[in-house]
Structure 1
Amino acid sequence: MPARTPEDCDRLFAEHVNAGDLEALLALYEPGCSLVPADGGVATGHAAIREVLGRLVAMRPAIRTEIVKTLRTGDDLAIVYNDWSMTAKHADGTPIERSGKALEIVRRRADGTWRFAIDDPFARG
């Protein structure tokens, strides 16, 4: 299911991560999108983003997102602020808990669907 609103990008992200569906996750990103992983680097393009999201999906996390605010500029560009939390386990069973305050720029495509153009899950702390 494609994102029909800017907020759908985050809702579907959580749904696809929780389902372990890497291909559906990648479909939420523009081909030239940039994603900022936890190490602060930048992954640009589907190949680099696949690597980052593949590691995330492999952890089999449970992710929850809460959309805080959406700012639209015109009909085809928006900034989405969301607070997220994640639980997972290391290979040895040790629990992992992470959270962040994301800022994402999403863009509407010609077919009316929305995709991430820039995704920074740690932008606001």
Structure 2
Amino acid sequence: MTRATEPGHLGPLLVEAINAGDLDGLVDLYEPEAALELPDGSVARGRAEIREFYAAFLAGRPVLTPGEPLPPLVVGDLALTNTRIGPDTTCEVARRQPDGSWRWLLDRPSLALGSAGVPQDSDT
């Protein structure tokens, strides 16, 4: 998988990895100690838990359509990234890595995952 050379590349790389079913590439977009908010509001912490979530997510063979990326807000080695997807907007914090690439440290997808091929709870 290609590394993100700019923080704004992370969102498109995520869509590419999901659509390709590339679990390793997907997990590689995150720092080892990253946190990912899950659809139920709980948090996957670290790559092992993030991998577990995405393995189950990819089992549904979702196909995502790229959203509208908003310009990243960059201060030094940190960046706030957002993508508008319909009425939802994602919110992530990325950090520049020692090799100059970018990975997410915090990820709040804010997506209706049911629209991406994963059934939503009928109570929501």
Contact kept, 8 Å, 2:8 with 2:71, in 1: the verdict is no
Of the three residues 67, 74, 90, the one matched with 1:102 is 90
Q: Which residue of 2 aligns with 1:35?
A: 36
Any gaps of 5 or more consecutive residues in structure 2? Answer: 112-124
5 Å matches for 1:77-92?
A: 77-84=78-85
Which residue is equivalent to 2:74? 72
Seen in structure 2, the aligned counterparts of structure 1 residues 53 and 84 have a Cα distance that, compared at 3 Å, is: farther
Task: Return the alpha-carbon distance in structure 2 between the equivalents of residues 9 and 68 of structure 1.
Answer: 12
Distance 1:84 1:48 in 2: 25
- Does the 8 Å CA contact 1:16/1:25 hold for their aligned counterparts? yes
Q: Which runs of 5+ in 1 are unaligned?
A: 86-98
Aligned residue in 2 for 1:24? 25
1:10, 1:77 → 2: CA distance? 16
Q: 1:122, 1:56 → 2: CA distance?
A: 15
Name the structure 1 match of 2:55.
54
Kindly state the Cα deviation for residue 122 of structure 1 after the two structures are TM-superposed: 1.2
Q: Shift of residue 42 of structure 1?
A: 0.5
| Secondary structure class of the residue paired with 2:68 | strand
Match of 2:10 in 1: 9
- Aligned partner letter, 2:99: D
**Following TM superposition, where does structure 1 have runs of at least 4 consecutive aligned residues deviating by more than 3 angstroms?**
none
Name the one with the larger strand percent.
1
Q: Does the CA contact (< 8 Å) of 1:14 and 1:65 recur in 2?
A: no
- 1:80-110 CA-to-partner distances (Å, cap 9, x unmatched) read 011236xxxxxxxxxxxxx731100000001
Count of residue pairs brought into register by the alignment: 109
Q: Does 1:122 align with 2:110?
A: yes
Indicate the residue corresponding to 2:122 in structure 1.
none
User: How much does 1:62 deviate?
Assistant: 1.3
Higher-helix-fraction structure: 2
